[in-house]
Structure 1
Amino acid sequence: MTAEADDLGIAVLAAGARTAMAISGGNGDGDGVGLVVRQLGNDARTRLRGGEEDATLTITTEIRGTEFVVTLTDKGEPVTGPPDAVLPLLESGVASAAEARTDGIGNLTEVRFALPTHHRILDTESLEVVPEDAALSAEPVTIRSMVTSDAAALTRAVFRCYGWSYPNPSLYYPERIAAALESGERIGEVAVTDSGEVAAHWGAVFLSPNVVETGGTVTDPRFRRRGLAKALGDRLLERLIEMRVGGRVREPVMTHPATQEIALREGATMVGCYLKITHPLQQVGITEGVTSSRMSLSVAYSALQPLEPATIWIPSPYDNIARMTLAASDWPRTVGTAHRTDAFPATTVLSTVFDSGNRVGMVDVEIVGVDLVDEIDSALHQMRRSGAEYVGVRLPANQEGLATLAAGLVELGLGYAALIPAFRPPTPDNPGGDVLITQWVAEPEIDTSTWVFADERVESLVRAIVAQTEDVGTRGVSRQRRAARRAQLFAALGD
């Protein structure tokens, strides 16, 4: 649907989006869709300040898995995030996620709304958690690639193994799993019984076209001691290599060393730690009840294809931690030296996405420009207004300007999170595809008392990340206190 960027045109687009939502079975959520479209249209109109050859707005709608997606396209001034007026709607749950970006032709602002199936969780009425010491079963299983019809069986397997304590809550929603399999966002290998129940699973989710996160590993206690996890992991790894996937990331929990140790034993490099990135939960047999704060995850990386040599440019505040990561790896990477130049791009190109369910935002920077700090500051402000508890910022580490132009990001409360090589497909602007990830945490005080580390190297890296995050996260408060004390002193001098 295309219309002029005026009151009538925006009203027509809003009405069309409401109708499309109703046809899609949105359970009366059309008013929320219409409100969001009006806010998107009004924002686009203010960015169409005159002189554009095309002053029209285009709205497209589609069902994407378990969500209804509205995308507005305009040719106004570049966007750096969803409109401010949409942010309260994200925080209140009217919309489930929002993303804004440019595509070289115009601006695209995408807002997602949950369909009824999005919140449909598995039915546990006839399910029980299988105890760890359950008798082993001799029931035969078939090992094969996962298909969409296995989604519900996987959720049942997760519940049998972990109850409600599995660290990845998305694995309790069968329709979401099926949609991700259908779209190719997720793949997996399973061991299934003759009745179709999943006895074991190992999967992968695409984080980018070049890197997957592997995990979701479960084995029903009754089917252990058969080597199912290894068999599934080997099959999945072979499949990823055949697909020419560049690398895989694993995110071991910090409350138990087993998955950290497995990753290191299999040749992975520990590359970082995402602090308070998921909701609090209880890990049966590990934590005493539900954790008091959001969960943190370590980050391990393994290359699946040979890495091409490349130079990375690291801002000085993050240099020491990045070098700790590089020292533990065999990546063909050289660290460049920061210097001033007039050749840096003037304008930063980035996109943002915010997940209202997990309160997590992500900023993806494609081009580092002179206005980098201002643009990221604006994006962070929007995320915080949306209720973000965690924001990650992915920075192109092979762009020379990063070392200079990103040096001030710590003053925005952004600490080191991870360094991942070949995360993105190589481009002339970012030939290695490497990303430096920084993170902002709403509550930067990190309780590590329950954390367990696989070895001293992991502990040193993680504690350095925690220390920096706590430091940069409280700088604003410290500055305010110093300013308040100065005001007191000057007031006294005035007497």
Structure 2
Amino acid sequence: MPASPPLWAEIAIPPRPDLIRSVQQMARTLADQCGIDAARGARIELALEEVLSTILRLSFDGLSPDDARLTIRCESAPPYFSVTVIDSGLPFDLSMVPPYDPQHPETADRLETGLSVHLVRHSVDRCSVLQHGRGGMRFEMAWLLPAAPAAGPDAPPQPAAPETPPEPVESVRLLGEEFAIQIARLVFRGYGWSYVYEDVYYPERLAAHFRSGAMKSWGAVTPSGQLVGHLALVRESPDAGALEWCIAVVDPRWRGLGLMERMLQAAMDHANTCPEPILCAHAVTAHPYTQKTCLKFGFQPVALLLGYAPATMQFRGIRPELSQRESTFLCARCTHPLPDQTLYLPTRHAPAIRRLLDALGARPPDDRLIVTDTPPDLSGRVTNYASVTAHCINVAKIQIESTGGDVAAILARERRRLCGERVDVIYLTLDLADPGAPLAAQAAEQCGFFLAGLTPMLHPAYGLTFQFLNNVDVDFDSICAHGPTAPWLRDTVAADRLRVDNGA
């Protein structure tokens, strides 16, 4: 059955309290059409009333209604029903809102602004406040939609039947910056606005990446010059020793012609001439097609990154809606030998690490693999680390560059900070060439991190990555795993999460 078209409504109003009811009615009407029950509908109305009242008090204090406006957008974007309020009034942030203690309501501020924010936070499933400078302040609230019936085990998602292409493909070739606008349009055809690398929607940014050499692209081009397929090679960071093939998309009207494989082969031929020893890709788990392509070209799954992309990610013509954040298998292929290093393996994870190194064809000799849980004394050594948040997908990455005796305190502090910022997933990478890696692994598990797998040459040559889910649900049974290694890796990650959750 084809997916229902998305439901949305948007209204712009002057900042007047007598119009709040009109906004509530719009939101409630759309929520009813989405199957949200009366109790949750009432929570939506309550949250809207409190948010709009707070904005009118703090953001439009003393302003003429002619000076500003409020824009409210309601949208069904499975798995959430969302309401976004964009305020173009006076700048403010939540530090201006007095805290509210439900145990001592008599201490509330006179205007009860703290109570309003308290009620909003307890009326929604998710909420965030974002500053956009001249673009205004955004209040984003979301409620989980009623669960849709699960597809039966005999009915896996299938790509839509391809249409007859309007014209043939003339060539697959290296692209230049003149194709930037066509790349942005092509990605929209395949993913809507949901693709994880937001730069693909900004032609001027793509052009800059071409000019700097940070991205090389191959495309399928028709005789009329239309771009109908695209694949790029990029580096995750300037110091990464891996090239990632990504932004892989084929216009739905040209699917089924083998264009993805032709573009990937062209990119691999180029990668074999580059100094980076690893070529990798994020293979999604909503469907098996990318994983099948990876295996056909010799890529092996070496890590399962849970919740890597938002649940709003779309696969047009294949699977338009996701029931949870999208997990990916990091699939890698060696193009040159990895650096010759001695590795320090945590005892618990040594068998899995050896199997993944074997799958990659990059296992050092046994005398270079030291299995230990008792690293040297690190009490006088300070932990060096980097922490970066990718706001467009709401995940954070912590890189431990060298382990010191303070690693447990640092990880606990960073996890607490990032959870407070409502980051959905935190990835933690340790350098297995660091003698302190086993100690860092123990500290990570004490903070609730569990195994993801290897992330080779994504800064450290031999990266061991763990992950922490911040109130994010993952159904392992819905993770599509294809080939001999992926199902084992999925089960290994699931077992390690259960072990860490149980404190074992």
Shorter-normalised TM range: 0.5 to 0.7
1:462 alignment partner AA: R
C-alpha distance in 1 between matches for 2:135 and 2:276: 32
Q: How does 1:53-452 map to 2 (within 5 A)?
A: 92-94=129-131, 132-139=161-168, 141-163=170-192, 171-208=200-237, 209-223=240-254, 227-281=258-312, 282-284=314-316, 286-287=318-319, 290-333=321-364, 334=366, 335-338=369-372, 339-342=374-377, 346-424=381-459, 433-443=461-471, 445-452=473-480
What is the CA distance between 1:390 and its match in structure 2?
A: 0.7
The structural deviation recorded for 1:259 is 1.6
How far did residue 132 of structure 1 move?
4.0
Contact 1:317-1:410 at 8 Å conserved across structures: no
User: Which runs of 5 or more residues in structure 2 are unaligned?
Assistant: 1-86, 94-127, 137-158
- Paired position in structure 1 for 2:75: none
Identity %: 22
Task: Specify every segment of 5 or more residues in structure 1 that has no aligned partner in the other structure, as ranges.
Answer: 1-27, 36-90, 96-112, 117-129, 426-432, 479-495
The equivalent of 2:487 in structure 1 is: 459
CA distance in 2, matches of 1:199, 1:401: 49
Q: Please give the alpha-carbon distance, in whole angstroms, between the structure 1 residues aligned to 2:502 and 2:203.
A: 40
d(CA) in 1 for partners of 2:233 and 2:446?
35
- SS of the equivalent of 1:273 reads strand
Structure 1 equivalent of residue 27 of structure 2: none
Inter-CA distance 144–388: structure 2 relative to 1 (3 Å threshold) = same
Q: Deviation string for 1:400-435 (max 9, x for gaps)?
A: 12123432311101111121333337xxxxxxx211
1:283-327 Cα deviation digits (max 9, x unpaired): 34554x632321111111111212243332122343343233234
After superposition, the Cα gap between the structure-2 partners of 1:312 and 1:115, relative to the gap in structure 1 and judged at 3 Å, is farther
State the Cα distance separating 1:137 from its structure 2 match.
Answer: 4.0
Q: CA deviation at 1:227?
A: 4.5
Superposed CA RMSD: 3.6
Taking the aligned partners of 1:394 and 1:218, their CA distance within structure 2 comes to 29
> Is this contact kept in 2: 1:314–1:397, CA < 8 A?
yes
Cα distance between partner residues in 1 of 2:311 and 2:225 = 32
Which whole-Å deviations, capped at 9, do the CAs of 1:10-46 have from their partners, x for residues lacking one? xxxxxxxxxxxxxxxxxx99x98x99xxxxxxxxxxx
Q: Give how far 1:219 is off.
A: 2.3
3-state SS of 2:476 partner:
coil
- Secondary structure of the residue that 2:478 maps to in structure 1? coil
| SS of match in other structure, 2:329 | strand
Give the secondary structure class of the aligned counterpart of 2:333: strand
Report the alpha carbon displacement of residue 363 of structure 1 after superposing the two structures with TM: 1.0
Q: Classify 1:355/1:114 alpha carbon distance in 2 versus 1 (closer, same or farther; 3 Å).
A: farther
1:50 is matched with none
State the alpha-carbon separation in 2 of the partners of residues 470 and 439 from structure 1. 13
User: C-alpha separation between the residues in 2 aligned to 1:300 and 1:212?
Assistant: 12
Q: Secondary structure at the match of 1:318?
A: helix
CA contact (8 A) 1:321 1:465 kept: no
Matched residue type, 1:300: C
Question: Cα 1:374–1:162, aligned 2, differ >3 Å: closer, same or farther?
Answer: closer
TM-score of the aligned structures, taking structure 1 as reference length: 0.64
Q: Is the 8 A contact 1:321 1:416 kept in 2?
A: no
Name the CA shift for 1:451/1:143 in 2 (closer, same or farther; >3 Å).
same
After superposition, the Cα gap between the structure-2 partners of 1:323 and 1:163, relative to the gap in structure 1 and judged at 3 Å, is same
After superposition, the Cα gap between the structure-2 partners of 1:388 and 1:456, relative to the gap in structure 1 and judged at 3 Å, is same
Letter in 1 for 2:393: N
- Alpha-carbon distance between aligned partners in 1 of 2:472 and 2:169, rounded to the nearest angstrom: 49
1:272/1:419 contact within 8 Å kept: yes
